[in-house]
A = this chain, B = another copy of it.
């Protein structure tokens, strides 16, 4: 089997030196049109292409970026992070890079959690998607590798970050409710420490304020341990335990909890959307096949991956340390859990 041609073969055949070929291939410095033409002809004849590892070695660049997320995020059935990943894969191709994927345990452990591509200098930059152990971030930073975080924000530290526009999404949700005539609009949230949930709460509050509505305290449940479905259920129970001044609509901080709310309502004969309008956030897959289909805020996961790649590639190109914080678009998806009849 014939070996593939090297730069040497091209040089020999074109009667020029290695460096001339290199110059032609990389469009560097000036090469006379004649020799350029000749070299190019030979390159085509031979089907020459530079070998990536040789070039990588000489340039100390790999042409790859790393994509890190935790195991559980990669394997969970709701394809949130995998969609971000696929969006990144989609975009990276246009830039002639490749993505190397590594999933790591939730708990950082220096001996086995460090992606091999970091150790082996096999990436020129890294995207971290979702919350990972902060030690991981620190490690990447000490290596001096450009870094972009997607759907994860670390307070008090300056990293480039891509997050969905939680504030705006919440605002849209609440405005939608208001436009349907609702005034008593509740909020069910999980851990407010979670930066996304916090922004959604702020969006909720300010949207109400903007409409001149002063929310009652017992419309709001924000002391839930986390954002899983069961907490939505519990939140609804808390909300409806008090008879007086019940909300007619609820903005739930994510779809998982919204599903819990719907379950509670079904069990307690509260009709959605007639007795109660419900609106979620995230547009998870389950949200479009519950009964009634859930109105929610769609998050463009692929876009987050695409913009993450663009942002990272920019910081690789620039040597300066510009920090960018980008909020990606969200969109109200109107389904059935909230209609005008209820007003």
Tell whether A54 is near chain B: CB-to-CB under 8 Å. Answer: yes
Contact check: which of B51, B86, B121 meets A51 at CB < 8 Å? B121
Q: Which residue from chain B places its CB closest to the CB of A86 in the assembled complex? A: B82
Q: How far is B56's CA from A54's CA once the two chains are assembled, in angstroms?
A: 8
Tell whether A108 is near chain B: CB-to-CB under 8 Å. Answer: no
| Minimum CB–CB distance for A283 against chain B, Å | 14
Q: Which residues of B contact A55 (CB under 8 A)?
A: 120
Instruction: Please report which residues of chain A, range 1-36, place their CB below 8 angstroms from some CB of chain B when the two chains form the complex.
Output: 1, 4
Tell whether A42 is near chain B: CB-to-CB under 8 Å. Answer: no
Q: How far is B77's CA from A292's CA once the two chains are assembled, in angstroms?
A: 23
Q: Which residues of B contact A144 (CB under 8 A)?
A: 1
Q: Which residue from chain B places its CB closest to the CB of A89 in the assembled complex? A: B101
Binds B, one of A92-100, A158-166, A228-236: A92-100
Q: How far is B99's CA from A191's CA once the two chains are assembled, in angstroms?
A: 37
Q: Which residues of B contact A62 (CB under 8 A)?
A: 52-53
**1/0 per residue A47-83: CB within 8 Å of B?**
0011111111100001010000000001100010010
Q: Which residue from chain B places its CB closest to the CB of A119 in the assembled complex? A: B49
Q: Which residues of B contact A75 (CB under 8 A)?
A: 90
Contact check: which of B52, B74, B93, B288 meets A120 at CB < 8 Å? B52
Pairwise interchain contact A120-B82, C-beta atoms closer than 8 A: no
Q: Which residues of B contact A1 (CB under 8 A)?
A: 144
- Report, nearest first, the 4 A-B pairs whose CB atoms are least far apart: A53-B56, A289-B289, A49-B119, A52-B120
Chain A interface residues (CB < 8 Å from chain B): 1, 4, 49-57, 62, 64, 74-75, 79, 82, 86, 89-90, 93, 96, 98-103, 116-117, 119-122, 144, 285, 288-289
